[in-house]
Amino acid sequence: MRRREFVRVSATATGGLLVAVAVPATARRALADDRAGPGVSLGPFVEIGSDGSVTIASKNPEIGQGVKTSLPLLVAEELDMPWERVRVIQTDLDARYGDQFAGGSTAVSENWEALRRAGATARHLLIAAAAARWDVEAASCRTEEGAVVHQASGRRAPYGSLAREAARLPVPGAVPLKSRAAYRLIGTRVRGVDNGTIVTGRATYGIDARVPGMLHASVVHPPFGHRIASLDDSRARRVPGVVNIVRIEPLPSPLHLREGVAVLAQSTWAAIQGAQALEVRWTPLGGAPIDSSEVRTAMLAAIERPGLAVRSDGDVDAAFAGAARTVDATYEVPLLAHAAMEPINCLAHVRPDRAELWGPMQDPDGVRELAARVTGLDPRAITVHMTRSGGGFGRRLMSDYGAEAAYLSKAAGRPVQVLWTREEDLSQDFYRPCGVHRLRAALSREGRVVAWDQRLANPSRYAYAKADRPPVSSELYADDFPARCIENVRVTYALIDSGIPGGAWRSTLHSSNAFAVQSFVDELAHVAGRDPLAFRLELLGAPRELEYGGHGGPVFDTGRLAGVLRLAADRAGWSRPPSAEQARGIAGHFTFGSYAAHVVQVSRDPAVGVRVERIVVAVDCGQVVNLSGAEAQVQGGVLDGLSAALHGEITVQKGRVQQRNFDGYPLLRMREAPPVEVHFIASAAPPSGLGEPPVPPVAPALANAIFALTGTRLRRLPLAGAMKELSKASG
């Protein structure tokens, strides 16, 4: 992807150098459901003080994906500045910084060129300033450890002493960037810049934000598909510390602000107790189904017939008619909640002429837009401070909680921090949509796949959002494997009506689609009597670039997917069979521009039926920027995928979510967490996404391993219950 880049240089008030570069604002535009992001804009990224200090701004929300370390690292690399002497600051929301967004695994890939350019430009100017001062050729100078050095004369000038002169120089044209061989930071292990404040409890998350005079709010919301019929708040008002009760009138879209009743109090505990003392009656609105079982019945019925054509290559019906064998299997995935460890919260201080918000967010611009809507203020009068975020996983791409905080602060005339209880957080989410996949394949006599017929029926999150896009486009990706790897391919989609909110969940629907596709490929391999790895490599065929229109396009390189499958298999010892009590399964997937393949090793275990012993992962995400952070993202993504594959399931009855806390919605605990071995393909390709690609292959690799161990094919997520049953069946 090529973009124009701009550089702007200025002096600071104290004689420092400020370097700004243009940053493309494309990621948010590509992902936001109903809004367009801003265009290219300018923002200051590097400030070199005359005192020698170097400050690098980190502009994207830090939600645990490590951007507050990896983005400034790009600047420091080209600047040739020792990392220990760089100070990183988190910026506020500011149009000058371009895209400020955490979604779609885009932070590093979108900023890769621009942030290195910022560092290189600053370095170029500092060298030019030194050369001018010493009256030598710039080409005879180099940089090291935050200083310009002239080898021939032995002269050395720290950056700080050059900043004032550098700021007066003309802006250079395209400054060359370092060659890969010259990297000192990129590709190394760099620890998180906030580790020191995190381990001492001093890091400020949204929930920790404090301003004088603030009230704490706890909110109850109606079940889905319901409105408030009546409210008796007399008991709540008698709770010591409760100051006020506010009815929240919803915005037209539930994505923006839901109806609710808020208890405002002097302390969080008083607010929570007050909310528990509210007596609210709900009345059903009628309309779309709000029972997950009803949605499931509709999905199972819908996959009995073809839906809307998403892809149609060759002649599928003819290929089935002439097939030696056909295989037919149905897979099911449940609703998933985000359940970030930091529950939904936001602090707002709305004044008559301006407002300020503090909170954990993935889309600060969305928070500002909605705060403007509920307060009637101009968005330019609203300041948004991004705190560290205790996870996001896609939930905080919705900014309803920001609107809620602003609404309550405006109503109270005071700063208000709204904090949802875990029960509200789990029951007022925007869930990863459920779905039923039916896959059919036709095999030739030799065991080659000659036709592939795939149907998905589910409620689309775009349909729920009433987005201005086809409902299918958030659910099914027409160019996903095995498109163009099999001659005859038909993919169809049936939209199922549902009033249960849908949203983006880490890796979006790749998390469920890869489960169906990669499980089914495994089934085909076994039917064909082939090794599952060899069968996959054969399906991928010769290394080539295929057109790919979804996340992480424009191409899908079959050779790179084959590469990670081979590497993971090699490191897992695929060619050496494990013991009789062990088995392995493999799966690979391409998304967000990156390739991931996992080998899951399982064994029989009397306590849980089947135990996950070890997961070996190979990832090709292009150039690794921060090896420690990248490895953490992969380990974390794999365990997230495992947590969902084993336990994740939300069910809804009459609009009420049945799982209220971590007892009903278990997350993976340490005793269930296998070692995850991470191997990166050494690559000179530009960095691609990493937060999400490790998730999709986990569930199918696990199901494939369970089949290899037990001969039982599990086709419905989550798996923990069925895994336990397997141990009983085997005695």
Instruction: Find the part of the chain contacting other proteins (CB under 8 A) among 52-60, 86-94, 109-117, 669-677.
Output: 669-677
Cβ(698)–Cβ(512) under 8 Å? no
Residue ranges in 261-320 that form contacts with other proteins under rule CB under 8 A: 267-270, 272
> Minimum CB separation from other proteins for residue 639, in Å?
3
11 lies in the site for other proteins, by CB under 8 A: no
> Minimum CB separation from other proteins for residue 201, in Å?
2
| 521, two tokens | 């490929």
> Strand 7-11 relative to strand 594-605: parallel, antiparallel, unpaired?
unpaired
> Minimum CB separation from other proteins for residue 421, in Å?
6
For residue 682, give the amino acid letter: A
Residue ranges in 85-124 that form contacts with other proteins under rule CB under 8 A: none
> Minimum CB separation from other proteins for residue 432, in Å?
15
For residue 410, give the amino acid letter: K
Residue 607: partners with Cβ closer than 8 Å, 6 or more residues away: none
200 lies in the site for other proteins, by CB under 8 A: yes
216 lies in the site for other proteins, by CB under 8 A: yes
Cβ(122)–Cβ(49) under 8 Å? no
Cα 116–Cα 119–Cα 124 angle in degrees, nearest 5? 120
- Distance, CA of 261 to chain centre: 31
Cβ(418)–Cβ(346) under 8 Å? yes
Cis before 718? omega within 30: yes
> Minimum CB separation from other proteins for residue 592, in Å?
18
Residue ranges in 342-401 that form contacts with other proteins under rule CB under 8 A: 342-343, 388-391, 393
The CA distance from 269 to 274, in Å, is: 8
Return the number of the residue (240 or 577) whose C-beta is nearest other proteins: 240
Return the number of the residue (22 or 695) whose C-beta is nearest other proteins: 695
> Strand 435-443 relative to strand 416-419: parallel, antiparallel, unpaired?
unpaired
635 lies in the site for other proteins, by CB under 8 A: yes
341 lies in the site for other proteins, by CB under 8 A: yes
> How many Cα neighbours within 13 Å face the side chain of 10?
9
Query: Mask: binding to other proteins, 51-90, rule CB under 8 A, as x and -?
Result: ------------xxxx------------------------
670 lies in the site for other proteins, by CB under 8 A: yes
Return the number of the residue (123 or 388) whose C-beta is nearest other proteins: 388
> Strand 147-150 relative to strand 155-158: parallel, antiparallel, unpaired?
antiparallel
> Minimum CB separation from other proteins for residue 390, in Å?
3
353-365 per-residue burial string, b: 16 or more CB within 10 A, e: under 16: eebbbbbbbbbbb
Using DSSP's 3-state secondary structure scheme, residue 525 falls into helix
- Total residues interacting with other proteins, rule: CB under 8 A: 64
671 lies in the site for other proteins, by CB under 8 A: yes
422 lies in the site for other proteins, by CB under 8 A: yes
240 lies in the site for other proteins, by CB under 8 A: yes
Return the number of the residue (39 or 675) whose C-beta is nearest other proteins: 675
Q: Taking the chain, what is the end-to-end CA distance rounded to the nearest angstrom?
A: 57
Closest alpha carbon to 389 in 265, 205, 122: 205
238 lies in the site for other proteins, by CB under 8 A: no
Cα 390–Cα 396–Cα 397 angle in degrees, nearest 5? 145
Instruction: Find the part of the chain contacting other proteins (CB under 8 A) among 133-141, 303-311, 627-635, 703-711.
Output: 627-635
Residue labelled with tokens 């709305």:
350
Give the interface with other proteins as residue ranges (CB under 8 A).
63-66, 189, 191-192, 194-196, 198-205, 207-208, 210, 216, 240-241, 267-270, 272, 339-343, 388-391, 393, 419, 421-422, 628-629, 632-633, 635-640, 643, 661-663, 667-671, 673, 675-676
